[in-house]
Amino acid sequence: MEFLMKPALTVRLFGGIDVSWLALILLIAGVAAAVAVAAVLRKKEAAPRKRTIIVAAVLLAAVLGSCALSVLTDATAAEEASGWVKLFGLTIPLERIAFTIHVGEGYSIYWYGVLIAAGFVLALWYGFRKAPAFGVDKDRMMDVVIIGMVAAVLCARAYYLAFDGEPLESVGQFFAIHDGGLAIYGGVIGALLFGGLACWWRKVKLWDMFDLAALGFPIGQAIGRWGNFVNQEVYGQPTGSDWFGMSGSAIGNTPVHPLFLYESLWCAAIFVLLHVLSKRRRFSGQLFSLYLVLYAVGRFFLEGMRNTNYILMLGRFGVSQIVSVVAALAGVALYFILRRRVEPKPEEEYQALFGEPETDPEKEAAAYGLIGCEWDASDEEVDAAYAAARAPFENMETGTDEQRANVAAKLEELAAAYEYIRRSRAAESEPTPPAEPETNESEAE
């Protein structure tokens, strides 16, 4: 029992809170119970009244969590804040470490990692909510996300090390991401490249998946940039003001432009815009191409304001600015290329498959085959076959304008075949005028 009262982790908030092993166990048990109750009721398709129980279970888990945090012996005071930041005149004490896990010699979890993880989880949750509307299977999407996430971290690290000008002393240094050194452009490139390969492997529609990614990226970026605030990095030149800007223990007393905040707000604005446009998506890849342009334009100007000591250079130019120009141009080109793929053909070029009835056995056989009935079927059987052929397309859920256009074209083709059959049968049933009797000239004489 004495072991259960020992600190399991120390949260660096409110002067420091020691969470005992018993408190941590109660907290985990409460969350697990809430998740289990919610899963059972959802599986049984609970009525609205029972759904209230789900909410109550979640609240109960929160209460258990609060109780768990209060089941503590005297909490030892954490170390004093290791730094401070003054943002727009407001002084904020900072501690880079979020909490410490008391296992072995202890392991510290930093706010930078916590915020990046929070952004990833929120983006993933949003992506799962939007996946059905984009025609993406959730299970296959998760496979793509896992591969893309791992590749994003590795490529972000490789991108940073490739341009920071410092030699790599060992393989272990490459994986020392807890010491910092990740470049967001490298992460985006890695996620798209290997995520695209995963789409091919799992047979996920590439541009629909990239549209989902375009909605998730700005969420993660907007939240993750606040990790730079805690680390006191990603800032620009002096503002020339006594209060407007950001200063800190690692920055100095001169206010500088808080570029992390500018980019966070820019990414939040991109997300809002793309979220609105996602409800009127005209073609697959539209949101992704717009994300490339919008983010690249904002990043290009922000890099121009950045402190030169923190810019990865390639010759005389900043690497991120060069990549921004390339990304913006690629986004514009991609937008028009993908849009042209779904533009309808001019009306004068359209040729119906089934036109006026004519004595063409091949065309008649194609019409009956499309409807799904035999040529000697009764009129009632033809009507029933036509209704059955239309039903799957009329009840199909479509997410993009391209999908809706394909369904409409299929229904139009079925209607044309059905009308062709009806006209053909009507023509065959019309009475044929009697032929004129032939006269023999010899008999007439």
pLDDT digits (tens, 9 = 90+) for 149-174: 999 888 888 888 877 667 777 777 77
Q: Which two tokens stand for residue 188?
A: 């985006």
Inform me whether the pLDDT recorded for 357 exceeds 70. no
Q: Treating both helix axes as pointing N-terminal to C-terminal, what angle do 138-163 and 206-224 enclose, rounded to 10 degrees? A: 60
Looking at 275-284, 360-369, 412-421, which range is the least confident one? 360-369
Q: How far is Cα 368 from Cα 234, in angstroms, rounded to an integer?
A: 67
Which stretch of 35-39, 145-149, 406-410, 427-431 has the lowest confidence by average pLDDT?
Answer: 427-431
Torsion of CA 129, 135, 137, 140, to 10 degrees: -110
In the predicted structure, residue 207 carries a pLDDT above the cut 90: yes
Spatial CA neighbour of 185 closest among 305, 314, 327: 327
Is the Cβ–Cβ distance between 59 and 47 less than 8 Å?
no
Averaged pLDDT, 128-136: 90
Amino acid at 318: G
Does residue 264 surpass a pLDDT of 60? yes
Give Cβ neighbours of residue 392 (< 8 Å, ≥ 6 apart): none
- Residue 94's contacts (CB-CB under 8 Å, 6 or more residues apart) are 81, 82, 83, 84, 85, 230, 232, 248, 249
How much is the average pLDDT of 90-119? 80
CA distance 360 to 424: 10
Structure tokens at 149: 């996430």
pLDDT at 178: 60
Look over the chain and give the mean of its residue pLDDT values, rounded to a whole number: 77
Question: How many CB atoms are located within 10 Å of the residue 30 CB?
Answer: 21
Q: What are phi and psi of 244, to 5 degrees?
A: -80, 120
| Maximum mean pLDDT: which of 79-83, 181-185, 225-229, 295-299 | 295-299
45 conformational bin, left if phi > 0, alpha if psi -120 to 50, beta if neither: left
Mean pLDDT (whole number) for 26-45: 68
Q: d(Cα 431, Cα 409) in Å, to the nearest integer?
A: 36
DSSP letters for 282-313: -STTHHHHHHHHHHHHHHHHHHHHB-GGG--E
Closest CA to 112 of 128, 95, 129: 95
Name the most confidently modeled range: 179-193, 233-247, 301-315, 387-401.
233-247
Asked if 393 and 382 count as a contact pair (C-beta separation under 8 A), the reply is: no
Which is more confidently placed, 342 or 68? 342
Confidence band, pLDDT 50/70/90 cuts, at residue 338:
very high
Whole-number Å distance between alpha carbons of 225 and 220: 8
Phi, psi of 47 (to 5 degrees): -70, 165
Instruction: Compute and round to an integer the Cα radius of gyration of the chain.
Output: 33
Q: Which two tokens stand for residue 196?
A: 């695209």
pLDDT surpasses 70 at 353: no
Task: Indicate if the pLDDT at residue 87 is higher than 50.
Answer: yes
Bigger pLDDT: 21 vs 160: 160
- Both tokens of 270, joined, read 């991109």
Residue 242 has pLDDT above 50, yes or no: yes
